[in-house]
Amino acid sequence: MAGQPPPAPAARRLPGQVAALALAVGLRRQIRREWAGSPLHRWMLARPKPEGLTTTTRDPRPGRAENGRRILLGDFTFAGVTLHAGPKCDPWDRPNPSRRFAVALHRFDWMRDLLAVGESGAVEGLRLTLLWRRTFGRWNGFSWDPEVLERRVFNLACGAPAICAGASDAESAQIALDLARQARQLLATIDGPARAAERACAAALAGAVLAGEAGDRLVTTALGRLVKALGETVEADGGHASRSPQAALQLLLDLQTLDEALVQRGIAPPDEMMRAIDRLVGAVRFFTLADGALPVFQGGEALRPALVAAARARENDAGRTLPAARNGYQRLESRSLQLVADTAPPAVGPWSVTACAQPLALEVLISGRRAITNCGWSPDAVGPEALRLADAASTASMGDLSCGAPVRGLQARALGPRLIGADAAVSAKRQQAEGALWLEMSHDGWVRRFGLRHERRLYLDLAADELRGEDRFTPVADAAPGEDPRRFIPFAVRFHIHPDARASLARDGKSVLIKPDGEETGWWLRNDALEVAIEASVFFQDGQARRTSQVVLRGQVRQETGARLRWKLAAAEPWPPPR
């Protein structure tokens, strides 16, 4: 009926429903925590005992020997802070600088870096592992929490054979038993689709490393859970159900590690697992940009190109043609420009704990160098969850509201920081002609509040090698009227600049010169905005914030008339001009 707000999509949960779900999940989780810490449960986790370690497995993720050498000196650096504990210290008996630091420490994220040092690193890894088991090996609510346990099981399974090479038989038996107990507990934490594949993969890897009946049982159970989870986690086109390119890459690396371990054990990997690997390889290939890294969308941050290269080391992509779209993203390319746009709604439900309400966000590379990007929030980044909203991406925002936000407080503690209110309709239409590419996108995230649809049109001129864009705010005929359809609503179109590029405002106060490192002349961002400003921004890489800037184009729109803002990115003429 005209004048009434549109019905809520089926995937949307009302605030009362979210609260009820959080209460039920919180109670169930508390019961499980009480059971997990009970003596009977701990006794069950220890049976049957493993018969030692059977194989050596290798994580393709490259370790950083420089970090390992700092750990040998007693300096632990995680989440942007350092614990100066001194050589041969016990980091487990002292306060941690932050919760994120403690998560990384108890995940054993340092194991890979220590092993990259060599024999001395393996000896230190053994010492730290034995110290950990003395304090936390029986049970601890934080250290055995699923978000911590998952990665520790994986890292310990990869590192146990190396650190036990110089250990006594008693020490090796202790570490093998600890690994078995933690892997069994990890399987018990799979109670939903999110992280189910990653947890089952880590448990299966632990089983492949352990000898005897204990390892065989773990492999059989975990592979069964993995097969089921992969069907929900990996989309038909290879994208991760969370729509995070980073999540797809990390799952691929986990599965490649498990595949190698199973081959060494003489166990045939499930067909479903191999199909998932093939699909994920295709997705990572699609997302790999000219600089060798992935775009930062939907809970992903900038990762080292070496990590992407490690996942693609065995890939032969000669002669392969990349698809134009995958997992809700579109790629457009000319001679100098490479563009990726987010053209689908964020994930919903359990998958939305890392999702971002940033519809129609884009990234642009110039001559293979990152120029326009997004802030790159991730769960491991040291940044507020406000960076999951539209202002932290290269897209448009309206008023002082967001089109979706993460839940907070007790609900977030029970459900995780799920994104709610961000499941508006998103559409995209791509056209191609000789010498040009068009991409027309729209989303309804502002319709409920302002009665306006955001439409973004991109035109890539292949002959002129320039990008033209238009952001429209179009009235929706059947939308509910706002407080006053005639009042002006402020809007902003943002372009976050990569830290390795610079943006400067021209004398006319309108045009902005964007100059990536290595570019001699730069590129002009011209526009017809009412106001143009260059403001501070941040960019997350390896969990750390880097200072950068953003170009903000501001304007005003009325619900009854709408508005548009046009912009163009084109190469600047060299100066002085060539003779």
CATH label of the domain that carries residue 205: 1.50.10.100
CA distances from 338 to 93, 258, 467, 514, 572 (A): 50, 34, 10, 15, 17
Identify whether 415 is part of a domain. Answer: no
- Rounded Cα distance between 133 and 42, Å, is 14
Identify whether 162 is part of a domain. Answer: yes
CB-side neighbour CA atoms (13 Å) of 563:
21
Nearest alpha carbon to residue 353 among 293, 284, 298:
298
Identify whether 316 is part of a domain. Answer: no
Q: 242, 417 in Cβ contact below 8 A?
A: no
Direct distance between the N- and C-terminal alpha carbons of the chain, in angstroms, rounded to an integer: 67
| 189 and 247 fall within a common domain | yes
| 270 and 197 fall within a common domain | yes
Q: What is the pLDDT along the chain (579 residues), one digit of tens a residue?
A: 333 333 333 344 555 677 777 777 777 777 777 777 888 888 889 899 999 999 888 999 999 999 999 999 999 999 889 999 999 999 999 999 999 999 999 999 999 999 999 999 999 999 999 999 999 999 999 999 999 999 999 999 999 999 999 999 999 999 999 999 999 999 999 988 999 999 999 999 999 999 999 999 999 999 999 999 999 999 999 999 999 999 999 999 999 999 999 999 999 999 999 999 999 999 999 999 999 999 999 999 988 999 999 999 988 765 578 899 999 999 999 999 999 999 999 999 999 999 999 999 999 999 999 999 999 998 888 788 999 999 999 999 998 888 999 998 888 888 889 999 888 899 999 999 999 999 999 999 999 889 999 999 999 999 999 999 999 999 998 766 655 667 899 999 999 999 999 999 999 999 999 999 988 889 999 999 999 999 999 999 888 899 999 999 999 999 889 999 999 999 998 655 555
Identify whether 469 is part of a domain. Answer: yes
- Rounded Cα distance between 338 and 294, Å, is 12
Identify whether 351 is part of a domain. Answer: no
Number of domains in the chain: 2
| 257 and 338 fall within a common domain | no
Could you list the residue range(s) of the whole structural domain that residue 469 is in? 331-346+359-383+425-571
Identify whether 323 is part of a domain. Answer: no
Q: What share of the chain is helix, strand, coil (3-state, %, to 5)?
A: 40, 25, 40
| 370 and 241 fall within a common domain | no
Q: State whether the Cα torsion 142-148-150-153 is positive or negative.
A: negative
